[in-house]
Amino acid sequence: MIRLENVTFTYMDDDFPAVDDVTLHIEEGSFVVLIGHNGSGKSTLARLLNALLIPTHGDVWVDNMNTKEEDNIWEIRKKVGMVFQNPDNQLVSTVVEEEVAFGPENLGVEPEQIEERITKSLEQVGMSSYRKHPPHMLSGGQKQRIAIAGVLAMEPRMIVFDESTAMLDPQGRKEVLETIKALKKKDMTILLITHFMEEAVFADRVLVMDDGKIVMDGSPKEIFSRTEELHSYQMEFPEVIDLANTLRSAGMNLTTDILERDQLVTELCRLL
């Protein structure tokens, strides 16, 4: 789906690159979570994936289209959609359906087809009954789901979520995560950038960035077993894993497979 080859990006006036010689392949249909401390280069990397930024050195390929070629830009942005952090900064229309139609209209999609796309996208995010509502009256989680529907209406193959759950209340976060999981089931390629470690356990693959480089790359189980290393990049552990590790080191015979809450509860029920 996406290949980065020796990609470096330096912002104008900066002495050091924000992304430093990254080579990475993201497979079609995979669910990748990207973590790293503030300033480690995550958002810059995300913006290189759909030509919002063009590498200073190296190449980014989206389905064999180089993001450097200006002719490819619209095709690439159609394929790789982005959802950002603040729901209030992303919505521009006064009615939900117009908001969702914004992308495909700009792509020149036929009106009948746009109707179909609106219906389908709103269905996918569970917001069909809000079609005629004004977006500013919705909750944070609902606004983010409308932003996702707007991206889905462009029929992308991949969606990048840049801390899209950071500003939401517990209910809103839950709604957006459920939506992301449902998209994963439909084989959407997903890159989720987050500071919430517990969101990383659902991924097929976890990437850790530090100083513009990808410093760790593996399954959630592998990544969260490398305790010292993860700490050295200023990352923390999801509390469920923290509890499991604490119990294990105190002598309880827990399997090393525990990532999620239900796994821990099942294990503890067996032992207690």
Partner 1 sequence: MSITLKKVSHEYNPGTTFATFALKNLSLHIEDGEAVGIIGPTGSGKSTLLQHINGLLRPTEGELEVEGIHISREKQNLSELRKRVGLVFQYPEYQLFEETVEKDIAFGPTNLGLPPEEVDKRVQNAMERMGLDYASLHDRSPFEISGGQKRRVAIAGVLAMDPKVLMLDEPTAGLDPLGRRQLMETLRSLHREQKITLIVISHSMEEIAFLCERVLLLKDGELQLDKRVEEAFEDVAFMEENGMDVPVISRVMHELRQAGKPFVRNYSSVQEAAKAILKAAGHA
CA atoms of 38 and 28, how far apart (whole Å):
28
For partner 1, which residue of 169, 187, 217, 222 counts as binding (CB under 8 A)?
Answer: 169
Q: Per CB under 8 A, does 234 bind partner 1?
A: yes
34 binds partner 1 (CB under 8 A): no
- Cβ distance 226 to 216 under 8 Å? yes
DSSP conformational letter for 208? E
Q: How many CB atoms lie within 10 A of CB 33?
A: 24
| From 10, 93, 119, 139, residue interacting with partner 1 (rule: CB under 8 A) | 139
Q: Which C-beta is closer to partner 1: that of 159 or that of 235?
A: 235
Q: Which span (8-16, 62-70, 93-101, 192-200) binds partner 1, by CB under 8 A? A: 192-200
Residue 160 host element (H or E): strand 158-162
Sequence-separated (6 or more) residues with CB below 8 Å from residue 64: none
Straight-line distance from the first to the last Cα atom of the chain, in angstroms, rounded to the nearest whole number:
46
Distance from C-alpha of 100 to C-alpha of 93, rounded to nearest angstrom: 9
Q: How many residues does the chain have?
A: 272
CB of 174 to partner 1, least distance (A): 8
Q: Measure the CA angle with vertex 269, ends 268 and 271; round to 5°.
A: 60
- Alpha-carbon span 46 to 51, nearest angstrom: 9
Please choose, from the candidates 219, 221, 112, 100, the residue with its C-alpha nearest in 3D space to the C-alpha of residue 154. 100
CB of 243 to partner 1, least distance (A): 5
Choose among 1, 58, 11: nearest CA to 204.
Answer: 1
65: phi then psi, degrees, rounded to nearest 5? -105, 130
**Nearest approach, Cβ of 232 to partner 1 (angstroms)?**
11
Q: Is 272 in the site for partner 1 (CB under 8 A)?
A: yes
Given candidates 198, 202, 204, 226, which one binds partner 1 under the rule CB under 8 A?
198
**251: contact with partner 1 by CB under 8 A:** yes
Q: Tell me which stretch binds partner 1 (CB under 8 A): 9-17, 36-44, 49-57, 114-122.
A: 36-44
> Which of 135, 200, 127 is closest to 163 using CA atoms?
200
Distance CA 106, CA 8 (A): 31
Q: Of 70, 89, 132, 269, which one interacts with partner 1 (CB under 8 A)?
A: 269
Instruction: Determine, following the binding rule CB under 8 A, whether residue 200 of this chain makes contact with partner 1.
Output: no
**Contact with partner 1 (CB under 8 A): which of 3, 68, 213, 261?**
261
Residues in 73-102 that interact with partner 1 by CB under 8 A? 85
Residue range at the interface with partner 1 (CB under 8 A); choices 16-24, 114-122, 161-169, 202-210: 161-169
Q: How many residues bind partner 1 (CB under 8 A)?
A: 40
46 or 80: CB nearest partner 1: 46
140 binds partner 1 (CB under 8 A): yes
The residue ranges that bind partner 1 (CB under 8 A) are 36-39, 85, 139-140, 163, 166-174, 195, 197-198, 234-236, 238-240, 242-243, 246-247, 250-252, 261, 264-265, 268-269, 271-272
